[in-house]
Chain A
Amino acid sequence: MPKTKAVDLVVVGAGPAGMAAAVAAAEAGVEKIILLERQAELGGILPQCIHNGFGLRYFKEELTGPEYAHRFVQELKKHPGLKVKTETMVVTITPDRKVVTTSATEGLVCYQAGAVILAMGCRERPRGAINIPGTRPAGIYTAGSLQYLMNIEGFLPGRSAVILGSGDIGLIMARRLTLEGVRVKAVLELMPYSNGLNRNIVQCLEDFQIPLYLSHTVTEIFGEKRVEKVRVAPVDKDFKPIAEKGFDLSCDTLVLSVGLIPENELSLQIGVELDPATGGPVVDSFYQTTVEGIFACGNVALVHDLVDDVSTESALAGRAAAAYLKGEIKTKRWLPVKAGRNIRSIVPQRIVVGQTTPLYIRARYPERNATLHVGDGQTKQQVVSPGETIYYTLKPEDIRTADGWVEVSLEGGRVHD
């Protein structure tokens, strides 16, 4: 092990989650905090999100990504004990909270932390993971890396594009490419509905007359050196392409927005338990993972729709880490959540008894006029969509402790087509 420095808290990742967690921990009185960021800039994905629409829930005003990040960067500066290390990569984290980092400026450094907050965010699912047949030419980008190349580096990828996936980044990139003069031929979505926010479908596609093909996918990529065209086909109910209804779209660029994967290689190394439904660590009401003193928040725990939610949740995790360091969080009784009808995932997965816990719930499929049941509590849900988070604040009185779990389900809804 390299030379070890003792600190109170190490936060891994200075995106919206890590910054909010570090600020909240500092405000709660934690003195020595190290905030680690592998990029040169703070803010994670935010600096490249030059569009607006951020901050409506958290700041009650509309901001661009860089503006949103800037507010937190300003907050970081108020705490002299909070040290930010950019262009610094975490190599290893041990279960007893040794964090080994490397950077060009300091080489290898090891921090022995009282607590660790994991805030590594997520990465994009690449082409191989969805196994599109065809050639392997230049001109295939994931939406986020293309956004970086355009908005941070100032490059134009090509002349005409097809976008596969109607998640928010895909929709945002359809508009961005159009504004730069790239012809966006179509946005394709495998599912019969978009996973993006409704406001993005209106503002990014409809306003620019970009066609959205639901229940369609790319079945083959053509072009030896550079993408020349893609073959598109509708899919049946089992998502199998209907080849005879296929058609070609010529383009030199294919943009993939086919899902985000929480980046949990370090979490696995520590040995925290992951939830297959979210791809992130199992956390309790305090966002503590299954390894004591290791917390996780933001998109590493659950891919959120809105950065505002990431900030809220991460501030909670930051305060909880502060409480843990003061010895205020003792091992408390918790109950597991249980996903019932039409529920894909619930975070946190462990409800600490007696603790009011905001829940982030995701449905499996769209439906209307359902009732959300959470233990003894319930609320009406007029429109349920897998693309939009369902919020519920779980109160201690909602819990039937005798059950041994907290069941979450959507009942009585009507599945629409």
Chain B
Amino acid sequence: MSIPEVDVLVIGAGVVGAALIRELSRYELDLLLVEKEVDVSFGTSKANSGIVHSGVHDRPGTLKAQLAVRGCQLFPELAAQLGFLYKQNGAVVVARSREELAELEKLAVNGRANGVKGLSLLNQEELRRLEPNLSPELVGGLLAPSGGIVVPFDLVFALTENAVSNGAKLMVNTEVQAINPEQGGFFVRTNQGGIRAKFIVNAAGLGGSEVAAMLGDDSIQLYARKGEEYLFDRKLEGLVHRTVFPLPSQVSKGILVIPTVEGNIMIGPTAQRVETPDLSTSLAGWQEIYGEARRLVPTLQPNDLITAFSGLRAVGTTGDFMIAPSTLSPRFINAAGIESPGLTAAPAIAEYIVELLKESGLGLRRKQNFNPIRSVVRLRDLDFQAQAELMQKDAAYGQIVCRCEMVSAGEIRDAVRRGATTLDGIKLRTRSGMVRCQGGFCTPKIIRLLSEELGLPPEQISKNGPGSELLLGRLRAVQEEGRKEEQLHA
């Protein structure tokens, strides 16, 4: 097998890598995106809060401020082109006391300095009118109408799918092991073989430090800051309309009450530095989040809880994003320390890195046939007429697999063709197994559909990659039956 030779190798298929590969796919380039996990978005981006930040929080003059405000502006058009789940619902930062009102005003000044449009301070009555379910103890708010919400993994899927349809290559299960500079670029060794690349972008999230070190670049120092999130049933839809922030602390934007695009309510995240990165949730995390969220929305009840999860932010040492060519090679760009507002900024980070690549000598010629549109079928979003037409074309869209979210077998098969190879991959692409019953009814059906589409025995179907297989094997009686049949045929 010949070694792939590409113009740009992007390491890491989180939201930054995905936004970048999509931006680069506008140009006549050989592109490769590699991801060590079994699927794109399976790292930090999967557990993102899904907020498109207005940019009020970030310190003026930082990359964070510049790229968040720009990113936020890019979202509406991007969503229209790529069809991911996004809503410009606005954000409101609330004050709990008279003293905090002064802080709100400072935040408004900060936001305006960053170029955030439409900010307005709300008194108690105005706040109550906009969000009647907020605690009566809250005395005022800062409304940022440009803020939005997005389904983070859907964003990553949309970006990568569009890039791939525009000619970029994607390799999952591909872990970079060594990077050696050579004439005109790099030779990269991975667990799937070698790759030659003229330029490399390190968008490896928490692995960014390790990847930079493979080149000998020790300037990227990162640590993991864990965030737990708790998701509530969609029957709470409308509890709040805007994303509700308390005033920020030193390390984070605080515990938020987030209305998700799909109508659920999510609360979180915590912000806890961890030495051993794992994705567990904790009783302490729940108590902190629930306590804080109840100070914002007192009617929130634990019995409406559906699930909990956690993610790890890759936090740098500079307090800002670290996006620059390595001092060791202008052809190697680090995009590291992309913590909040990284998801918001991602489309702007992509533009920014394209400029850096250009400065480093990457030739950019626009593709004539670049197609910015990506479309995906969501049965539940269609009217009866459109549903009926779809079912006429393919009966599998009439066969419902997930009763909670009305996901059809057609959409599950479609998700496999879009790149899902695991139960979690299906869940994140279709929502089947994500809500009320948490997969109680649909799991056996999805295992079967994955097995058929991938041509693998059901025992090899996993939750999220090797080691997470769902079934050990067949029952003894079924095994014996199989043996008898084999003997008969022999």
Contacts and interface: CB of A to CB of B under 8 A. Distances in A.
A1 B438 CA distance: 31
Interface string A314-355: 000000000000000000000000000000000000000000
Contacts of B280: 133-135, 220-221
Interface stretch (B56-64, B138-146, B305-313, B356-364): B305-313
A153 B443 CA distance: 12
Nearest to B474: A154
A225 B464 contact: yes
Nearest to B231: A128
Nearest to A89: B400
Given A138-B462, A158-B472, A226-B469, A107 B443 contact: no
A226 to B, nearest CB: 6
A267 interface: no
Interface in A101-137: 102-108, 123-124, 126-129, 131, 133-137
A360 interface: no
Given A38-B403, A105-B395, A150 B475 contact: yes
Contacts of A139: 470
Interface residues of B, number: 60
B478 A134 contact: no
B214 interface: no
Contacts of A135: 278-280
Contact of B468 (A104, A138, A142, A153): A138
Given A137-B463, A145-B444, A102 B398 contact: yes
A156 B305 contact: no
B286 A155 contact: no
Interface stretch (B9-17, B244-252, B385-393): B385-393
B307 A154 contact: no
A156 B473 contact: yes
Interface string A147-160: 01110111111110
Interface in B449-477: 458-459, 462-477
A112 to B, nearest CB: 15
B398 A134 contact: no
Contacts of B306: 126, 128-129
Interface of A: 1-2, 38, 87, 89, 91, 100, 102-108, 123-124, 126-129, 131, 133-139, 142, 144-145, 148-150, 152-159, 180-181, 219-221, 224-226, 252, 265, 268
Contacts of B443: 145, 149
A48 B366 CA distance: 59
Given A2-B384, A135-B280, A155-B474, A124 B437 contact: yes
B403 A89 contact: yes
Interface string B305-332: 1111100000000000000000000000
A224 B384 contact: no
A197 to B, nearest CB: 22
Contacts of A155: 458-459, 471-475
Interface string B207-234: 0000000000000000000000011000
Contacts of B465: 225
Contact of B436 (A38, A123, A149, A154): A123
Interface of B: 230-231, 235, 278-283, 285-286, 302-303, 305-309, 384, 387-388, 391-392, 395-396, 398-400, 403-404, 406, 409, 436-441, 443-444, 448, 458-459, 462-478
B406 A181 contact: no
24 contacts: A1-B384, A2-B384, A89-B406, A103-B398, A104-B395, A104-B396, A129-B438, A131-B302, A131-B308, A133-B282, A133-B285, A137-B463, A138-B463, A138-B468, A142-B438, A149-B444, A153-B444, A156-B475, A159-B472, A221-B280, A225-B464, A225-B468, A226-B469, A252-B472
A253 to B, nearest CB: 9
Contact of B475 (A180, A225, A226): A180
The 10 closest A-B pairs by CB, nearest first: A128-B307, A126-B438, A225-B467, A138-B463, A154-B478, A107-B391, A104-B399, A89-B400, A138-B468, A225-B468
B475 A154 contact: yes
Nearest to A108: B388
A306 B399 CA distance: 31
A138 B459 CA distance: 13
A123 B437 CA distance: 7
A152 B444 CA distance: 10
B474 A108 contact: no
A43 B472 CA distance: 28
Contacts of B472: 155-159, 252
Contact of B438 (A128, A131, A158): A128
A98 to B, nearest CB: 12
A134 B283 CA distance: 9
Nearest to A3: B388
Given A138-B462, A153-B444, A103 B399 contact: yes
A131 B286 contact: yes
Given A104-B399, A133-B282, A268-B235, 19 more contacts: A100-B384, A104-B391, A107-B395, A126-B439, A128-B308, A137-B468, A138-B468, A139-B470, A142-B440, A149-B443, A155-B473, A155-B475, A157-B470, A180-B476, A181-B476, A224-B467, A225-B464, A225-B467, A226-B469
